[in-house]
């Protein structure tokens, strides 16, 4: 059996990697193949997250042991087989490669190929340039906070302040405005 993962980035539109790997390989094997396929240095802290259908994080698989508490389940890449946590096609994962700015790749198990085997993981499709591995925090926050806050930001560029009713909302009947129905804490 072979797992075929498709990897995309929300930073680079034409970036795609496809990786084929044995389901009994470890998450570290997948991590190592991803790092090599994008040309990243292997000296950064990374994690995989098993996600639900809406990309909400459920379980974290870390590069290094991060928790000493035996009461809490923890998964480490070198000790966790892919098929322990991934069984179904369309399973979603995040691969966080830049912890400081939480930048990641979106991964989906796009196909389970039955009746075939693979000895070592390989990247079978490489398209587009990978995003830069690390951006400094200031660069990331300044690029993310460059919102255009002109009049269209609020949803109506034809808004006329003279049409605004300073005494309340138009359309309320006068009886309810005069009664004791005001808000009280």
Task: Tell whether 123 is covered by a domain.
Answer: yes
**In this structure, what CATH number is given to the domain that contains residue 103?**
3.10.290.30
Domain assignment present for 47: yes
**What pTM did the predictor assign?**
0.72
Q: Is residue 104 part of a domain?
A: yes
Structure tokens at 16: 């795609």
Indicate whether 61 belongs to any domain: yes
Residues 43-95 have pLDDT tens digits of 999 999 999 999 999 999 999 887 766 666 789 999 999 999 999 999 999 99
Q: How many domains is the chain partitioned into structurally?
A: 1
pLDDT, tens digit, for every residue of 100-151?
889 999 999 999 999 999 999 999 999 999 999 988 766 555 555 444 444 4
DSSP the chain: -EEEEEEEESS-TT-EEEEEE-TTSBHHHHHHHHHHHHT--S-S--EEEEE-TT--EEEEEESS-----TTS--EEGGG-BHHHH--STT-EEEEEEETTTTEEEEEEEEEEETT---SS-EEEEEESPPPPS---HHHHHHHHT----SGGGGT-TT--GGG--TTS-TT--HHHHHSS-----
Question: Could you list the residue range(s) of the whole structural domain that residue 65 is in?
Answer: 2-143
Residue 165 within any structural domain of the chain: no
């Amino acid at each position: 059996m072979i797992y075929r993962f498709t990897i995309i980035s929300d930073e680079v539109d034409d970036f795609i990697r496809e990786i084929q790997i044995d389901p009994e390989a470890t998450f570290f094997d997948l991590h190592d193949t991803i790092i090599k396929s994008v040309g990243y240095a292997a000296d950064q802290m990374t994690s995989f997250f098993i996600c639900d259908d809406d990309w909400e994080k459920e379980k974290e698989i870390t590069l290094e042991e991060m928790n000493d508490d035996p009461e809490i389940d923890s998964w480490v890449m070198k000790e966790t087989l892919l098929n322990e946590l991934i069984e179904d096609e369309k399973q979603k994962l995040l691969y966080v490669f830049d912890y400081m700015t939480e930048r990641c790749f979106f991964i989906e198990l796009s196909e389970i190929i039955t009746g075939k085997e693979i000895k070592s993981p390989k990247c079978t499709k490489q398209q587009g340039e990978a995003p830069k591995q690390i951006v400094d925090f200031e660069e990331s926050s300044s690029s993310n906070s460059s919102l255009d806050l002109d009049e269209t930001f609020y949803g109506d560029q034809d808004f006329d302040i003279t049409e605004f009713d300073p005494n309340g909302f138009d359309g309320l009947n006068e009886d309810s405005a005069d009664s004791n129905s005001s808000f009280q804490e």
